[in-house]
């Protein structure tokens, strides 16, 4: 019998490590060291995903063992109590996760318990897609071509038998702790439904229709045209092979070359996710350091008032404010708007990307070390294959182009509800009296974009030396 240690793979099917045993006792350990890096939206989503996982195990005649403690102590203890042949798990690729896994391996070695870790979270494992010289790619396009053309595994079957913890380790409490028990407040925003059924519903619905207009619509935040699968991919409530297969079927069903291209555009986003995970695997320090070397330090500014206005959605730049308020309301933000608000923090407020990354880490339901870091360092021009430092988003033209009728802006910034879109998109140029008359409760711009753009370019040129 295997003891399967669940971490960010909260599903029964298409789970590589889980599929390796015929008889399995699944366990989830609430580890305070890991929880110290978590935040209410994700703990909330994870606890509902665990409820749903436990239900799936119960339907199969077994159960999920839930414990709270240090996995270095709990896993050897449980493995011994149930006389497990091995403890198995799926790998995670962040520096913190790798250090934790090494400690657990040591503890299991001391207890003379066999253990095995598997690659599961990605279609292609870090180190398997490299340049001809065997280096990890730092340019996405080359990575994507190799990644796309490689054969991919089919989804894995669920194990034959799930053991009930009570049969093998005696009576257990097994309750999933509440957020308060775990030391968290309730999340500020609405958290989407978790669990494999919810993930499969989203994937099926998306691949039935929206995937065919993804290419055209994905950049327009009001259109709700993306899959919203990010928290599910983060917590592994759906397997990547299963999702990939759904996209391949959608591509086979495409009625035109355009439709097929649109599916491929979506598959490309799954590849971006893997690209950033490979980058993190190869460079664990990107979590705290710039990926790209500049000759001198970038002279980021300290601007607590600006950062406060940014966090509260009160910068006077409508699309930025809508995005920052969507973050609070939904614990999720549309990708185009994530890029706009990240650019605003780093290139208009000239504030270090790490402050933004930290805010996202606290507020996002889908915060994923690799993707979040990749996104921030892209926007800050410090990352791998990043936005060049001289190509600076203009938040007004971005709003006009991607939310021309201001539907998205008005959804999150009710102060602008009665303002004509044209005025919203020239908000920074209006006379203060006109702004006051149009929307007395909405602020004017806290910085001048034109000035800040010049300052940002100078800041980067100084860093380049
Ligand atoms: P879809 O468009 O439906 O894409 C499907 C999946 O592909 C996503 O769920 C995600 O797993 C992956 N994906 C899509 N776009 C990207 C991308 N640019 N980079 C990497 N993977 C991508 N994504 C996260 O999952 N977690 C984060 O913490 C995160 N932080 C970000 C921070 C910034 C500053 C930026 C610019 C982007 C960030 N992204 C992050 C990437 C992207 O914004 C989200 O993955 C996407 O908005 C999630 O919505 P969706 O599931 O509807 O995406």
Q: Is the CB of 342 under 6 A from ligand 1?
A: yes
* Runs of H (alpha helix) within 150-256: 165-169, 196-208, 214-217, 230-235, 240-252
Q: Is 368 in the pocket of ligand 1 (CB under 6 A)?
A: yes
pLDDT digits (tens, 9 = 90+) for 16-61: 999 998 899 999 999 999 999 999 999 999 999 999 999 999 999 9
- Whether 72 lines ligand 1, by a CB cut-off of 6 Å, is no
203 Cα to the center of ligand 1, angstroms? 15
User: Is the beta carbon of 366 within 6 A of some atom in ligand 1?
Assistant: yes
In whole angstroms, what separates CA 372 from the centre of its chain? Answer: 6
For domain 2-120, say whether CATH 2.70.150.10 is its number: no
Render pLDDT for 354-368 as a digit per residue (tens, 0 to 9): 999 999 999 999 999
CA atoms within 13 A on the CB side of 458: 7
Q: Residue 335 Cα, ligand 1 centroid: separation in angstroms?
A: 6
Please spell the DSSP secondary structure of 44-110, one letter per residue.
HHHHHHHHHHHHHHHHTT---EEEES-HHHHHHHHHHHTT-SEEEEE---SHHHHHHHHHHHHHHHH
Tell me if 367 CB under 6 Å of ligand 1: yes
pLDDT at 172: 72
Which ranges in the chain are annotated with CATH 3.40.50.620? 2-120
C-alpha 2/C-alpha 241 separation (Å) is: 23
d(CA 66, CA 27): 6
**Where, residue-wise, is CATH 1.25.40.80 in the chain?**
122-154+196-282
- Which segments in the chain show pLDDT lower than 50? none
Atom from ligand 1 closest to the CA of residue 232:
9
CA 372 to ligand 1 center in whole angstroms: 8
- Name residue, tokens 């253990």: 115
Residue nearest to atom 9 of ligand 1 (CA): 230
Whole-prediction pTM value? 0.97
DSSP track, 101-147: HHHHHHHHHHTT-EEEEE--SSSS-TTSSB-TTSPBPSSHHHHHHHH
**What's the pLDDT at 171?**
65
Residue nearest to atom 20 of ligand 1 (CA): 273
Does the structural domain 304-464 have CATH classification 3.40.50.280?
A: no
CATH assignment of 122-154+196-282?
1.25.40.80
Q: How would you write 385-430 as a 3-class SS string?
A: CCCCCCCCCCHHHHHHHHCCCCHHHHHHCHHHCCCCHHHHCCHHHC
């Amino acid at each position: 019998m295997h003891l399967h240690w669940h971490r960010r793979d909260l599903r029964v099917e298409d789970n590589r490590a889980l599929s390796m045993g015929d008889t399995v006792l699944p366990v989830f350990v609430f580890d305070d060291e890991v929880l110290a890096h978590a935040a209410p939206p994700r703990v909330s989503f994870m606890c509902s995903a665990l409820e749903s996982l436990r239900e799936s195990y119960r339907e199969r005649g077994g159960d999920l063992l839930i414990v709270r403690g240090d996995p270095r102590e709990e896993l050897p203890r449980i493995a011994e109590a149930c006389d497990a042949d091995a403890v198995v798990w799926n790998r995670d690729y962040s520096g913190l996760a790798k250090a934790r896994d090494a400690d657990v391996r040591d503890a299991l070695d001391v207890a003379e318990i066999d253990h095995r870790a598997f690659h599961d979270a990605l279609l292609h494992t870090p180190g398997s897609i490299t340049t001809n010289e065997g280096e990890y790619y730092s340019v996405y396009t080359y990575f994507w071509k190799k990644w796309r053309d490689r054969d991919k595994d089919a989804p894995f079957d669920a194990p034959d038998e799930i053991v009930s913890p009570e049969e093998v380790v005696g009576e257990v409490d097994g309750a999933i702790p509440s957020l308060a028990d775990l030391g968290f407040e309730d999340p500020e925003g609405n958290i989407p439904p978790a669990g494999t059924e919810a993930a499969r519903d989203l994937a099926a619905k998306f691949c039935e229709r929206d995937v065919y207009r993804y290419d055209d619509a994905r950049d327009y935040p009001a259109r709700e045209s993306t899959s919203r699968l990010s928290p599910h991919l983060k917590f592994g409530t759906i397997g990547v092979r299963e999702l990939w297969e759904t996209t391949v079927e959608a591509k086979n069903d495409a009625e035109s070359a355009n439709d097929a291209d649109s599916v491929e555009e979506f598959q490309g986003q799954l590849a971006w996710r893997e690209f950033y995970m490979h980058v993190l695997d190869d460079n664990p320090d990107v979590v705290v350091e710039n990926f790209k070397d500049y000759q001198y330090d970038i002279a980021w500014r300290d601007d607590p008032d600006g950062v406060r206005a940014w966090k509260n959605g009160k910068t006077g730049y409508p699309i930025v404010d809508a995005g920052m308020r969507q973050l609070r309301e939904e614990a999720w933000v549309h990708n185009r708007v994530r890029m706009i608000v990240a650019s605003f923090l780093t290139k208009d407020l000239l504030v270090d990307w790490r402050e933004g990354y930290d805010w996202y880490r606290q507020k996002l339901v889908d915060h994923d070390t690799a993707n979040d870091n990749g996104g921030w360092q892209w926007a800050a021009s410090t990352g791998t294959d990043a936005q060049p430092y001289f190509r600076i988003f203009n938040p007004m033209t971005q709003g006009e182009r991607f939310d021309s009728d201001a539907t998205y802006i008005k959804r999150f910034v009710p102060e602008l509800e009665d303002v004509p879109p044209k005025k919203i998109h020239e908000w920074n140029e209006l006379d203060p009296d006109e702004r006051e008359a149009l929307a007395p409760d909405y602020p004017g711009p806290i910085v001048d974009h034109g000035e800040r753009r010049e300052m940002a370019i100078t800041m980067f040129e100084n860093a380049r030396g």
